[in-house]
Amino acid sequence: MMHYILALDQGTTSSRAILFDANGAMADSAQQEYAQHFPQPGWVEHNGRDIWASQLEVAKTLIQRCPSPSSIAAIAITNQRETTLLWDRKTGQPLGPAIVWQDRRTADQCATMRAQGLTELIQTKTGLVLDAYFSGTKLAWLLDNIDGARSRAERGELAFGTVDSWLVWNLTAGASHITDVSNASRTLLFNLHTLEWDDELLTLFNIPRAVLPTIVPSAGQLAQSSPSVLGHAIPITAMIGDQQAATFGQGCFKPGMAKNTYGTGCFMLLNTGSEPVASRHHLLSTVGWQRASSPSGGLHTTYCLEASVFMGGATVQWLRDGLNIIQTAAEVEALALSVPDVGDTYLVPAFTGLGAPHWDGHARGTLIGMTRGTTKAHIARAALEAIALQVADVFEAMQKDAGLNLSELRVDGGASKNNLLLQMQANILGVPVIRPKIVETTALGAAYLGGLAAGLWSSTDAISALWQEDQRFEPQWSDTESAVKRARWRQAIERAKSWSQD
Ligand code: ADP
């Protein structure tokens, strides 16, 4: 009998379920969008009930459509990270909204804490930057702004969780309150070195220990779904944050292997092995995953360096919606190909400032180098090059931080369909860029982890053998050509820096 892994991929705008077979192929999938709430500028909320209802529905759909539900060996969970929920342990009902990772409501609190000189302590302990993006200050906000929440939390009546915890709590009908190390490592409350909640951090962020979930590995016999919820008791054998899952799904099992996801923004993660690397270039150091390499073996933790580029595919959205020079994102490729090069035109898409490795919140978008001969095709081409150049900056920072030379880059995400973009990327990096057959790497990575723990696959080598390349882009530029391009880009970046006065 064929065995399956049911991957639950709880994303920022939709909940998805994908059934993977023992060959790592997609057998079935279902997806449901749910509501986004923007109650004030800078605030982004979900309703915890919507997250659960949409995820439950797609999971049930696949179980019902599966000819033999008993062939589902395990459930593997991957999720939007950092999004913060608080709920009542007795009723299981959320208190207040789920505060989404994009939400900036605690930016001032973070600025105050930075002004108190806490940046370095927090970076050393957590591998993160002290920013509103992470869960710590979001949880404190819920405790301080919901009537009675703080005292109830101190009495042990409330539970905090990121989305992985929330899903497992509901899948187990309240029996398990757990989170995996990869999700815990995004809270600012977790010590990257001891792999535990950290008392000093809990005090700094004013979080009572009684609300916290138990930390578990990313893979193993973590919990079991309640028959009252899914109709079946199915082991839950993986929990992992979405970007870490994608890294696993790209088969980046060895130190020095990296993936980049070209979505709205770009997310690059590099496997740095069994020790966290302290970044000197404002990158994040995070847990990749923790698992036992054999059922009886000890646990092994893999760490990653992580960096994001704010404007990835969103640069193409701007061409479409801001400039109206294309009707669909896919049209950008043909338009850019209609000219042989950018004609020395550079677009720095610093619309919301620049992230790693520049970190300039006051940088703004710049289009420079235009002449009377410049057309929309040049601008489209410059936009794609800008995505590749930003990724190259992050790639270089990672290599420096890790002291490694990367020999290839594996890619996925919506904009990785664009062959011209990937060819540009290979040319600029000087290493091959590889797109896999299955670009649903997030769900796939969770399924791989869960399937390993459930015994569907024997080792990561068995998975590497399943992992299939769709297309490989070899660098076609000389070192000089890419050096000139990058030097020009650096000049353009300098022009974009410190522009805004607010
Ligand atoms: P997310 O998961 O962040 O919502 P996706 O992985 O779905 O993003 O990718 C969507 C992004 O990819 C959009 O910003 C879109 O502009 C961009 N995109 C989609 N197709 C192409 C294409 N062919 N060329 C360049 N960009 C594209």
What's the pLDDT tens digit per position in 173-203?
999 999 999 999 999 999 999 999 999 999 9
What the chain holds in terms of domains, given with CATH numbers, is: 4-244 (3.30.420.40), 313-431+475-499 (3.30.420.40)
pLDDT band at 217 (very low <50, low <70, confident <90, very high): very high
The answer to whether the CB of 368 is under 6 A from ligand 1 is no
Q: Whose alpha carbon is nearest atom 18 of ligand 1?
A: 415
Most confident listed range (51-60, 106-115, 435-444): 51-60
The rounded Cα 155 to chain-centroid distance in angstroms is 33
Residue 122 phi, psi (nearest 5)? -70, -40
Contacting residues for 494 by C-beta, under 8 A, at least 6 apart? none
What is the distance in A from the centroid of ligand 1 to the CA of 264?
A: 6
Task: Choose which residue among 10, 316, 328 to substitute to test ligand 1 binding: the one with the highest number of ligand atoms within 8 A of its C-beta.
Answer: 316
Whether 495 and 349 have beta carbons less than 8 Å apart is answered as no
What is the distance in A from the centroid of ligand 1 to the CA of 166?
A: 28
pLDDT band at 440 (very low <50, low <70, confident <90, very high): confident
pLDDT band at 361 (very low <50, low <70, confident <90, very high): confident
What is the distance in A from the centroid of ligand 1 to the CA of 36?
A: 19
Residue 443 phi, psi (nearest 5)? -65, -40
What is the distance in A from the centroid of ligand 1 to the CA of 282?
A: 26
The answer to whether the CB of 136 is under 6 A from ligand 1 is no
Contacting residues for 248 by C-beta, under 8 A, at least 6 apart? 240, 288, 289, 445, 446, 448, 449
What is the distance in A from the centroid of ligand 1 to the CA of 380?
A: 15
The answer to whether the CB of 316 is under 6 A from ligand 1 is yes
Q: Whose alpha carbon is nearest atom 23 of ligand 1?
A: 330
Q: Whose alpha carbon is nearest atom 15 of ligand 1?
A: 313
Q: Whose alpha carbon is nearest atom 9 of ligand 1?
A: 414
Whether 10 and 167 have beta carbons less than 8 Å apart is answered as yes
Residue-wise pLDDT for 391-414, tens only, equals: 999 999 999 999 988 999 999 999
The closest-lying atom of ligand 1 relative to the alpha carbon of residue 317 is 16
The residue assigned the tokens 């919820």 is 229
The answer to whether the CB of 411 is under 6 A from ligand 1 is no
pLDDT greater than 80 at residue 49: yes
User: What's the Cα-to-Cα distance from 309 to each of 201, 262, 268, 312, rounded to whole Å?
Assistant: 28, 9, 8, 6
What is the distance in A from the centroid of ligand 1 to the CA of 55?
A: 23
Mean pLDDT is lowest, of 55-69, 90-104, 313-327, 356-370, for 356-370
The closest-lying atom of ligand 1 relative to the alpha carbon of residue 13 is 4
Torsion of CA 80, 81, 83, 88, to 10 degrees: 90
What is the distance in A from the centroid of ligand 1 to the CA of 286?
A: 25
pLDDT band at 41 (very low <50, low <70, confident <90, very high): confident
